[in-house]
Structure 1
Amino acid sequence: MTAELVRGQNHPLPDFRVEIRVSAGKPVIAGATLNDDSGRMRDAGWIAHPAAPRLPGLEASRQAAADHRLAVDLGALPEDVHRVNVLLALPTGVGGPTSFGPLAAPYLAVTGLDGAEIATYTVTGLDAESAVVALELYRRQDAWKVRAVGQGYAGGLAAMLDDQGLPKAHELAATINEAVAAGLARSVAPPPPQDGEGTRERSTAHAAHRGRTGAEGAGGDCPERTGTPAAGTPAGGTPSGAAPSGTTPSGDAPPSAGGIDYRHPSRPASPPPSAAPSAPQASQAPQGGGQEPVAGDAPGWSMEERLYNQVWGMFEDLARTVAAYRSAIDFAESRMEREIDRVLDDPRTRVGPAADEARTEARAKHARLVEQAQAVLDRDLAQLVAEAEVVEPALPPALARWDNPVWHGYTLPDDTPMALRLGDLSLPEHAELRIPMLVRLPLERGLWIDCGREAASVESVVGADTGELRRLAAETATAVAARLYAVYPPGEFTVRVIDPAGSAAASLAPLVESGALPEPPAAGAAGVSQMLELLTRRVDLVQMAVRSGATDALPVDIDPADQLLVVHDFPHGFDDRAVTQLRYLADEGPAVGVHLLMVADREDARAYGPVLDPLWRGLLRLTPVASDHLADPWVGHAWTYEPPLAPSGSEIVPRVLRQAAAGRWSPGGGH
């Protein structure tokens, strides 16, 4: 699978021989510099450029062009080379653009020799810069990785080369530009189309879906990537404000000037006119730059879909702006350390007024970079907070928190919603900004509410009382089951419960007392066996009916509604046969409408050893208390998850369940 990188993110390279394809829309110079282990160029022979395109293990283009291919053989590089910087620069003296700001964001793809993409990166956030280090290939022990850098230079090639320690950088930059102006090279053919689109078309699409700041992202459900990633495929993302994207000749990085583009990355700007149903269309204008956010201001066929897309766009924006901020902070710190080390490495400048002045200047640069990165972060967070304040009250029940007033006007739904809210996600840079965690319906994966001590920092949340943690886990399971039960139309969803020891009786009271359950929770080994036999038989019969095309011939005792099996205290009350049946339901059930929600401590099932590892891996792990366990492979964040519990003392869950159950069991209600 192709890795779509954001600024600062890295990805391993599976082979030493790769090709780097560049698509920029306008003619640019593409080349590469070699660095030692301290990030310095040895001399002018360590750069491949139009006037000298070939080095051992490296070949660049001989002219400025809109599309380039750079060949890299990492195994053939000199042994003292630890980094390869892929650079892009605008040619001077040829009457073209003088900065990247007005141009489409350059798009780079690292491919294998077979043309398959390994990693891609769109260099967004550029403004006054005329040269940029786009990618860095670097050595880690005996392996190589690629990192998205996106470091721009307003001083052009000369500033870039000077920053890498090259003597007479201005003279070499002038030589390169003269070679380009004189047309010293053969024409470079554009890369062949891939997936029905040319590379240039792909670049245009990336530029259209990503705004002027931030980096590329992913599309889908938060945060699991199932559907549109969080989920689905890593696709183009909605950009958020970026951290400092370029440096001036003095080395300071100015904050990006762009705003947040709230258009959803994986959807067209508007539905096809010939096929669009009669539904109001949302405004496509970006909400950045201080404009007032509007609920539902995202593409979609209905208000529900527009809100869903907008929430996912908010998740992406928060992920990116924080990733850019963290990357900028890391860059500022590494730059300061490098500059101070440079002073200390020379015995002549190690002490004395010159050394003190160099340290002071390095720290001042660091402070300016951090201040600029913080300003960009604060700007984008303020915009997201403003949008959240508008979007949250407008969400329908399936996407709303329990404290949303929409639940007080609850009515039985006519259609199955497209997604369900399973809690909230946040990052420490702004813990109060919570983004709804949405998963698409029907559930493609089972859910596991981890009630073990490793599920969260138990000591800091509920003391040492693991019994309290188990109680909260049971309440979370009931809250999730209640949300699912309430948002499905009558007759289309059934909740069943296994509680072998009756330990969750108090937490299950809203489901039991409202009449939402068709039968009491299964108890004891016999109850466990009976419930699992019932659902296993349903899965088998529905699978056979689907394969034979006879779904209308199912036995009358088979409940056609989607089923949610809530299992408490696994594996208590389960024998080997029951464990096998549960694994079967987890694997085969979702495809035919049987879904699993487990409340369990993995340590309780350690006697089964690795036999149950596939079960745990196949479930989406949640926690009953706030925990930063949800890892995001897209940008590397650890998101803090907050479960979907109702406010303490609230009666909204029992009230909604009673209303939903009354409507379902009334004449014409579906049961």
Structure 2
Amino acid sequence: MTAELVRGQNHPLSQARLEVRISAGTPVVAAATFGDADGRIGGADRVAHPGGPVLPGLEVSRQAAADHRLAVDLDAVPDAVHRVSVLLALPAPGRTGPVRFGAVAAPFVAVTGLDGSEIASFTMTGLDAETAVIALELYRRQGAWKVRAVGQGYAGGLAELLTDQGLADAHGLAASVHEAVARGRADAVPAPPPRPADGDRSRPTAAPALGPDHGDTAAQGAPGPVPSPPAYGPQTPGTPGQSPTGPQQPPPPFPGGPGPEDATLAQPPAPAPGGPVDYSHPRRQTTAPPPPPPTVPPAEPGQPARPVAGDATGWSMEERLYNQVWGMFEDLARTMAAYRSAVDFADSRLEKELDQVLSDPRSRIGGHGDAARETARERYDSLVAQARQVLDRDLTQLAAESDVVEPALPLAYARWDHPVWHDYRVPMEIPMAVRLGDLHLPEADGVRIPMLVRLPLERGLWIDSGRAPSLDGSFGDAHELRGLALEAAVAHAARLLAVHPAGEFTVHVIDPAGAGARELTPLVRSGVLATPPAAGAAGVADVLSRLTQRVDLVQMALRGGAADALPPEFDTSQHLLIVNDFPHGFDDRAVNQLRYLADEGPSVGVHLMMVADREESAEYGPLLDPLWRALLRLTPVADDHLADPWVGHAWTYEPPLVPSGSQVLQRVLTEVATARRTWGR
């Protein structure tokens, strides 16, 4: 399985003969350098570039191209070389084309075996004025080779990059590289044409009922710019999500992305008006076609197509199922928006017709008024029945697809009662996403959509222990809700531990007053915790101090381009801190440290899981508002606090509860603890 890296993340290489594949969407220059233990280049003879493309164990392209394949044989690399850096640069100014990486699609780079199987990949997002970038590096560590995603850009171009790597005549070499590219410019490979929408899922969707669209749009809190929903023009009846008398619903988002506490379902980039939605992997930019999806059995005449698990596009079955769940979420959101729109239309039409009856003097004579009102109500009932018929037909198809998809889900996406947990083994690779619950809508109670959150986590979690009313309007016991919230936190932590390879995920717990001893028993008894739960003011201060220092250290190393300067014994795993019973036992310094971890921790692999009642935290005033906004709010009981940002549906969230009396959680945690001890030897 491919490891999808983020900046600073590394991955072991088990093969010596490799290819580095690059896709940039525009012609770029590819080069590579040999560095010593400090990453310094000794001279121009340690740089492979279009003018001198071959070094021992390495060969790069001889021209600018939108796609490159660099050949690497690590066994042939000289022993004095400790780091092989792969560089990308835009051709010298003075030619047609982009002048900065921020003006083109994010470059994608992958390390593959000679058979084409991907080992690790990296998409360099966030580039702006840079014209040269260190994409990734292959480096030796304790006799073994690893790959690290770097993504370090330089606005000063190739000359500045080579200077930073310690090359004395960096400007002269950069000029010769661009000269060699200019000589071969006539043979440069142009940017590939736009990819066809091969990710479009052909999903049988019945024509929605008549009625205008009145879907509201919730606020979106995802970091960075968020595209506005496009203006969809009228289309013909039968288009999915389109009302013949109103605009088409914009494609809704996939559950589980970043957003504010009551709008936590993130949206993908908006497609072109009227165009198909691209379901291909959002971090893959490559011209190589993915493997074909499974063949869909032919449907009987007049019947919808039979659902098949994994019928979406993707580079693995895991990714196909992820995209299929995405599609099911979209289909449910669209068909429900059409139904609600039709009912709203029928309501407004009935109200208008009744007003007309009351304002017409003729309705006061004889039975004209009663007949008009009866006709209006019959028309209303007919419209609503038509809308419900279409909704039921779509829900039947979605339920059938869910029945096929749910049993096929991999470990990270499966419910706790899935049979896959009975034969649990610690995985070797980090999955694309993890399931943190289910989503459904009131009118479609029988259709559950897995709430999948991408890994690594982009934000922390807040498990709400407050006395919020349940869906039936009743309030739960405060003490019971606190216990349920911590049990939910333990289940989430256990799942995160279970889906990561041994040693790749570490959990810490702060329980200042020891109030959660019973609920924390599965984590403590199994031995998966890094240290026992911290209690008292001293314990709280110690854990927060260690984690904030870790964030500071990693940030300084990454910003300074000196990730190798971290101590060899430095723990590179992801870290999760569970904080119970907040704010009891926390002073102002501890609160500020929590805010710092929530804001800065996720980017360097430190995540926060708060178990807290927001109302009880009100004594801190607005100080904690940024903390709550930085976290994804989940509840220990079913609650309809989640909203998608485009259609505006209030989705009911259901936590992933462990079946009563099941020993699956303890078995999984025991297996994780055993693997951790074996890995640490």
Q: Tell me the secondary structure at the aligned position of residue 415 of structure 1.
A: coil
Partner of 2:201: none
Q: Distance in 2 between matches of 1:151 and 1:436?
A: 32
Counterpart mapping for 1:248-327 below 5 A = 265-267=278-280, 275-276=288-289, 279-283=291-295, 290-327=304-341
Flag the 1:381–1:407 CA change in 2: closer, same or farther, 3 A. same
Partner of 2:462: 448
- Aligned partner of 2:252 among 210, 218, 224: 218
State the shift of 1:235 in Å.
Answer: 2.6
Q: Is the Cα–Cα contact under 8 Å of residues 264 and 310 in structure 1 kept in the other structure?
A: no
State the shift of 1:431 in Å.
Answer: 1.5
> Does 2:525 align with 1:513?
yes
Q: Distance in 1 between matches of 2:337 and 2:432?
A: 29
Counterpart mapping for 1:616-655 below 5 A = 616-655=628-667
Flag the 1:117–1:476 CA change in 2: closer, same or farther, 3 A. closer
Residues 261-317 of structure 1: CA deviation (Å, up to 9, x unaligned): 9x9644389x9995246x453458999952110001101111001101111111111
Partner of 2:384: 370
Q: Is the Cα–Cα contact under 8 Å of residues 219 and 237 in structure 1 kept in the other structure?
A: no
Q: Which amino acid aligns with 1:359?
A: R
State the shift of 1:320 in Å.
Answer: 1.3
State the shift of 1:343 in Å.
Answer: 1.8
Residues 126-152 of structure 1: CA deviation (Å, up to 9, x unaligned): 159xxxxx9xxxxxxxxxxxxx97417
Partner of 1:566: 578
Flag the 1:664–1:533 CA change in 2: closer, same or farther, 3 A. same
Q: Is the Cα–Cα contact under 8 Å of residues 266 and 644 in structure 2 kept in the other structure?
A: no
Q: Which amino acid aligns with 1:422?
A: L
Q: Is the Cα–Cα contact under 8 Å of residues 465 and 485 in structure 2 kept in the other structure?
A: yes
Q: Is the Cα–Cα contact under 8 Å of residues 265 and 645 in structure 2 kept in the other structure?
A: no
> Does 2:237 align with 1:126?
yes
Q: Which amino acid aligns with 2:467?
A: R
Q: Is the Cα–Cα contact under 8 Å of residues 216 and 238 in structure 1 kept in the other structure?
A: no
Partner of 1:606: 618
Partner of 1:426: 440
State the shift of 1:456 in Å.
Answer: 4.0
Residues 337-390 of structure 1: CA deviation (Å, up to 9, x unaligned): 111211211223344232222212111111110110010000000001000100
Partner of 1:439: 453
Q: Tell me the secondary structure at the aligned position of residue 507 of structure 1.
A: coil
> Does 2:502 align with 1:490?
yes
- Aligned partner of 2:266 among 209, 217, 231: 231
Q: Is the Cα–Cα contact under 8 Å of residues 402 and 646 in structure 1 kept in the other structure?
A: yes
Q: Is the Cα–Cα contact under 8 Å of residues 282 and 299 in structure 1 kept in the other structure?
A: no
State the shift of 1:627 in Å.
Answer: 0.8
State the shift of 1:560 in Å.
Answer: 1.3
Q: Is the Cα–Cα contact under 8 Å of residues 464 and 633 in structure 2 kept in the other structure?
A: yes
Partner of 1:465: 477
Partner of 1:553: 565
Q: Is the Cα–Cα contact under 8 Å of residues 428 and 501 in structure 2 kept in the other structure?
A: yes
Q: Is the Cα–Cα contact under 8 Å of residues 493 and 561 in structure 1 kept in the other structure?
A: yes
Flag the 1:399–1:499 CA change in 2: closer, same or farther, 3 A. same
State the shift of 1:216 in Å.
Answer: 2.8
Flag the 1:458–1:464 CA change in 2: closer, same or farther, 3 A. farther
Partner of 1:348: 362
Flag the 1:122–1:220 CA change in 2: closer, same or farther, 3 A. farther
Q: Is the Cα–Cα contact under 8 Å of residues 257 and 454 in structure 2 kept in the other structure?
A: no
- Aligned partner of 1:401 among 406, 409, 415: 415
Q: Tell me the secondary structure at the aligned position of residue 665 of structure 2.
A: helix
Flag the 1:306–1:384 CA change in 2: closer, same or farther, 3 A. same
Q: Tell me the secondary structure at the aligned position of residue 599 of structure 1.
A: strand
State the shift of 1:404 in Å.
Answer: 0.5
Q: Which amino acid aligns with 1:305?
A: E
Partner of 1:144: none
Q: Distance in 2 between matches of 1:451 and 1:272?
A: 42
- TM-score of the superposed pair, with normalisation by structure 1: 0.62
Partner of 2:95: none
- TM-score of the superposed pair, with normalisation by structure 2: 0.62
What RMSD, in angstroms, separates the aligned Cα atoms of the two structures?
3.1
Residues 163-190 of structure 1: CA deviation (Å, up to 9, x unaligned): xxxxxxxxxxxxxxxxxxxxxxxxxxxx
Q: Distance in 2 between matches of 1:238 and 1:514?
A: 53
> Does 2:654 align with 1:656?
no
State the shift of 1:392 in Å.
Answer: 0.5
Q: Tell me the secondary structure at the aligned position of residue 518 of structure 2.
A: helix
Q: Distance in 2 between matches of 1:389 and 1:217?
A: 24
Partner of 2:127: none
Q: Distance in 2 between matches of 1:637 and 1:290?
A: 26
- Aligned partner of 1:415 among 414, 429, 435: 429
Flag the 1:118–1:218 CA change in 2: closer, same or farther, 3 A. closer
Gaps of 5+ in 1: 1-100, 102-115, 129-133, 135-147, 153-212, 240-260
Q: Distance in 2 between matches of 1:395 and 1:553?
A: 40
Count residues with an aligned counterpart: 449
Flag the 1:238–1:487 CA change in 2: closer, same or farther, 3 A. farther
Flag the 1:357–1:468 CA change in 2: closer, same or farther, 3 A. same
Counterpart mapping for 1:30-45 below 5 A = none
Q: Tell me the secondary structure at the aligned position of residue 630 of structure 1.
A: strand
Q: Distance in 2 between matches of 1:238 and 1:647?
A: 45
Flag the 1:127–1:218 CA change in 2: closer, same or farther, 3 A. closer
Counterpart mapping for 1:505-544 below 5 A = 505-544=517-556
State the shift of 1:624 in Å.
Answer: 0.5
Q: Tell me the secondary structure at the aligned position of residue 461 of structure 2.
A: strand
Q: Is the Cα–Cα contact under 8 Å of residues 470 and 637 in structure 2 kept in the other structure?
A: yes
Q: Is the Cα–Cα contact under 8 Å of residues 625 and 643 in structure 1 kept in the other structure?
A: yes
State the shift of 1:118 in Å.
Answer: 7.4
> Does 2:485 align with 1:391?
no
Flag the 1:404–1:268 CA change in 2: closer, same or farther, 3 A. closer
Q: Is the Cα–Cα contact under 8 Å of residues 123 and 150 in structure 1 kept in the other structure?
A: yes
- Aligned partner of 2:512 among 482, 500, 522: 500
Flag the 1:607–1:289 CA change in 2: closer, same or farther, 3 A. same
Q: Distance in 1 between matches of 2:554 and 2:541?
A: 20
Q: Is the Cα–Cα contact under 8 Å of residues 470 and 476 in structure 2 kept in the other structure?
A: no
Taking CA–CA contacts closer than 8 Å with sequence separation of 6 or more, which of the two structures ends up with the larger relative contact order? 2
Q: Which amino acid aligns with 2:395?
A: L
State the shift of 1:321 in Å.
Answer: 1.0
Q: Which amino acid aligns with 1:649?
A: G
Q: Which amino acid aligns with 2:270?
A: A
Q: Distance in 2 between matches of 1:573 and 1:455?
A: 27
Flag the 1:474–1:127 CA change in 2: closer, same or farther, 3 A. closer
Q: Is the Cα–Cα contact under 8 Å of residues 221 and 440 in structure 1 kept in the other structure?
A: no
Q: Distance in 2 between matches of 1:272 and 1:286?
A: 32
Flag the 1:387–1:581 CA change in 2: closer, same or farther, 3 A. same
Gaps of 5+ in 2: 1-206, 208-226
Q: Distance in 1 between matches of 2:273 and 2:401?
A: 14
State the shift of 1:458 in Å.
Answer: 9.0
Q: Is the Cα–Cα contact under 8 Å of residues 235 and 244 in structure 2 kept in the other structure?
A: yes
State the shift of 1:224 in Å.
Answer: 4.7
- Aligned partner of 1:151 among 238, 245, 262: 245
Q: Distance in 2 between matches of 1:547 and 1:602?
A: 35
